[in-house]
Structure 1
Amino acid sequence: MTTATAPVGLAALEKELHPRFLTLAERERIRDLLAAGRSVRAIGRALGRAASTVKREIDANSGSEGYRPYAAHRAAAARRPRPKGRKLLRDSPLRAFVADALRRRWSPEQICHALIQEYPDDQSMRVSVETIYQALYFQARGGLKREVQAAIRSGRTRRKPRRETGRRTARFIDPMLMISDRPADAEDRAVPGHWEGDLVIGANGRSAIATLVERTTRYTMLVHLPGGAHDAETVRDGLVATIQTLPAHLRGSLTWDQGSEMARHKQFTMATGMPVYFCDPASPWQRGSNENTNGLLRQYFPKGTDLSVHSLEDLEHVAQELNGRPRKTLGWDTPAGRLRDLLTA
């Protein structure tokens, strides 16, 4: 049964609507086709609308006198201009949860799924990914650009298409095992212990941090390079020291690009027992997990900054925070939890 609505002005009734909204002419045709005994599906086909749209329209606007197109159109016009307050612009437990998660550098998608897990029976603790993004960009327009840049991983306060620029260094002379030679169990992530690695480069290429990501769990380890140096010997020593902290069953292989920092890959393999597989030139997707992780790390280590100022303790803190984030690709488990399961199994 329809409910009483406030009077609606002529302008609202005659306003040109988005094609997704039913027009008065369509509502009149629904009435005529119903009177002719046509089914909901037949009416939908006649209007070029989904049968579910027609059914909702009839159910919402039928009373003892049947379907009433003019009353239905007035009710729809009255609903359109009603003010809708932004969920995250008013103080509430939902806003507090989202704000706290953003401070911990969680993505909007991670926040949405965490809300479902934390509050499975509380529908008031729900928000869409788009609503979070809209709130962030709205705040940026209101003068909170610095705070929003800290919350949005890209650092942008306006939406724009993502672009990536390729960065490949020349291949070196030492013989290499190519990624095409990598075993199948590493390729399909079926067996843990296969890692992807790369360097995060600082200002003017003068400092760096080495990153390692385990392909199955997405667990991240950050390798401290003294003084930010990233010559082949320094990178070799840092990687060997880090890999040797792992149990033997998690030392399967390492995949890297053809950067000169891996010129001592044979010595690394001799020290760790891990073969190094090299990607094809200009093919960053062949280390997809590592590329994604390096993007996340730019929240902590922005481009154009000196990375040599970060201590080993700083890197361990960042890695711990990153490994504590729920990941979509892990069914919203955390990398730390997945690795813990491997170590205790």
Structure 2
Amino acid sequence: MTYTHLTTEELVMIEAYFHQNVPILKIATYVGRSRQTIYNVVIFLRKGYTALDYFKQYKENKKRCGRHSISLPHDQQEYIQMKVSQGWTPDVIIGRAERPIACSVRTLYRQFRKGIFDQATLPMKGKRKPNGHKEKRGKQAFKRNISERLNDYPHFKEEFGHLEGDTIVGVHHKSAVITLVERLSKAIITLKPNGRKAQDIEAAVNNWLRFIPKNLFKSITFDCGKEFSNWKTISNQNDMAIYFADPGTPSQRALNEHSNGLLRKDGLPKEMDFNQVDQSFVSGVASIRNKIPRKSLQYQTPLEVFLTYINEWELSNLI
């Protein structure tokens, strides 16, 4: 049975019965409370106090109830603040367990919401488009649909070497950066094309693939943007399967879409003119994200997982 505290009406009734010298047993019957509860109030009233005084004391006592807020030691706060500045989230800080933190993941998230730590690094919330939104862009013809991918690669979900690709566009839609994500390791690769037209994208991807081992990557899944309309040339020249997601279904390339959001936050915002930066800059932004542990990778970094499939010499030409 759930215990409920005495209400102000009950306290007034008990005080009235007390002044009429009604026995405690009868007061308990009238009010519908236990004798011990009534006895506690009567003892308080016998000292010359009133029901209002009892209620005020009850309110003061109640402030001390419940668990006290956790205050982390100064060295742990400094460590968390340092990792937050590097892009780590609360679940990664606790899950990676590089050093012990004296609270749970949920408690640490609450401290972020209270403003103790920088909340700007937390994952973005909300929907970018409302329910029922219908995409009207990206209906290019003569493309290999994503439905063919599983037939060509039955072990697609467990194989290394399958990429998801897209472009993120700069200010005034005059510049772009190509983003590729390897599905198994979640490693992000960024390429800087000379422009955002189809021939610019084709040249940048082909130039990048020239410096990596043949058939290291088996497939790329793009969205239906016009910038990828030269996909056949890329596919034939590099012996790589290229697929396209259905229009208006970013969930079919969810890892790439999520990675684009992280890159936007880490140093490639929409208001930036990507024509003013070079390949080393966009690679540096991706490198920061590749060195942050991921919960889905058992708190390893994408770079650590990526290196289990290739050697460090090959890595220098890839990421």
Tell whether the 8 Å contact from 2:214 to 2:238 is kept in structure 1 after alignment.
Answer: no
> What pairs up with 1:86-101 in 2 under 5 angstroms?
86-87=70-71, 92-101=74-83
**Partner residue in 1 for 2:28:** none
Cα pair distance change 1:233/1:135, threshold 3 Å:
same
Instruction: State the Cα distance separating 1:82 from its structure 2 match.
Output: 6.2
Superposition RMSD in Å: 3.0
One-letter amino acid of the structure 1 residue matched with residue 299 of structure 2: W
> What pairs up with 1:173-188 in 2 under 5 angstroms?
173=141, 175-183=142-150, 185=153, 188=156
**Partner residue in 2 for 1:214:** 182
The structure with higher relative contact order (CA 8 Å, sep 6+) is 2
TM-score by length of 1: 0.65
Q: Which runs of 5+ in 1 are unaligned?
A: 1-11, 17-27, 29-73, 155-160
Establish whether residue 248 from structure 1 lines up as the match of residue 232 from structure 2.
no
Instruction: State the Cα distance separating 1:135 from its structure 2 match.
Output: 2.7
Tell whether the 8 Å contact from 2:150 to 2:156 is kept in structure 1 after alignment.
Answer: no
Instruction: State the Cα distance separating 1:245 from its structure 2 match.
Output: 3.0
Which residue, out of 128, 132, 142, partners 2:104?
128
Instruction: State the Cα distance separating 1:186 from its structure 2 match.
Output: 6.6
**Partner residue in 1 for 2:86:** 104
**Partner residue in 2 for 1:163:** 127
**Partner residue in 1 for 2:17:** none
Tell whether the 8 Å contact from 2:178 to 2:192 is kept in structure 1 after alignment.
Answer: yes
Instruction: State the Cα distance separating 1:219 from its structure 2 match.
Output: 1.2
Q: C-alpha separation between the residues in 2 aligned to 1:200 and 1:186?
A: 30
Q: For structure 1, which segment, 329-338 or 297-306, has the greater mean C-alpha deviation from structure 2 after superposition?
A: 297-306
Cα pair distance change 1:217/1:85, threshold 3 Å:
same
One-letter amino acid of the structure 2 residue matched with residue 162 of structure 1: G
Tell whether the 8 Å contact from 2:165 to 2:221 is kept in structure 1 after alignment.
Answer: yes
**Partner residue in 2 for 1:34:** none
**Partner residue in 2 for 1:297:** 263
Which residue, out of 213, 233, 236, partners 1:267?
233
Cα pair distance change 1:126/1:247, threshold 3 Å:
farther
Q: C-alpha separation between the residues in 2 aligned to 1:86 and 1:13?
A: 27
**Aligned sequence identity (%):** 25
**Partner residue in 2 for 1:113:** 95
Which residue, out of 272, 288, 291, partners 2:254?
288
Q: Which runs of 5+ in 2 are unaligned?
A: 9-33, 35-57, 313-319
**Partner residue in 2 for 1:323:** 290
Aligned length: 254
Tell whether the 8 Å contact from 2:156 to 2:162 is kept in structure 1 after alignment.
Answer: no
**Partner residue in 2 for 1:335:** 302
Instruction: State the Cα distance separating 1:15 from its structure 2 match.
Output: 7.3
Q: C-alpha separation between the residues in 2 aligned to 1:178 and 1:263?
A: 14
Q: C-alpha separation between the residues in 2 aligned to 1:341 and 1:306?
A: 35
Q: C-alpha separation between the residues in 2 aligned to 1:218 and 1:136?
A: 26
Question: Structure 1 stretches (4+) deviating beyond 4 angstroms?
Answer: 77-80
One-letter amino acid of the structure 2 residue matched with residue 307 of structure 1: F
Secondary structure of 1:189's counterpart equals: helix
Secondary structure of 1:127's counterpart equals: coil
Cα pair distance change 1:249/1:265, threshold 3 Å:
closer
Tell whether the 8 Å contact from 1:169 to 1:260 is kept in structure 2 after alignment.
Answer: no
Cα pair distance change 1:213/1:15, threshold 3 Å:
farther
**Partner residue in 1 for 2:172:** 204
Q: C-alpha separation between the residues in 2 aligned to 1:264 and 1:208?
A: 16
Tell whether the 8 Å contact from 2:215 to 2:240 is kept in structure 1 after alignment.
Answer: no
Q: C-alpha separation between the residues in 2 aligned to 1:187 and 1:200?
A: 29
Tell whether the 8 Å contact from 1:112 to 1:126 is kept in structure 2 after alignment.
Answer: no
Instruction: State the Cα distance separating 1:310 from its structure 2 match.
Output: 2.5
Which residue, out of 245, 256, 270, partners 1:279?
245
Cα pair distance change 1:314/1:168, threshold 3 Å:
farther
> 1:200-240: per-residue Cα shift (whole Å, max 9, x none)?
122232221110001111111001122xx210000111111
Bigger CA radius of gyration: 2
One-letter amino acid of the structure 1 residue matched with residue 115 of structure 2: Q
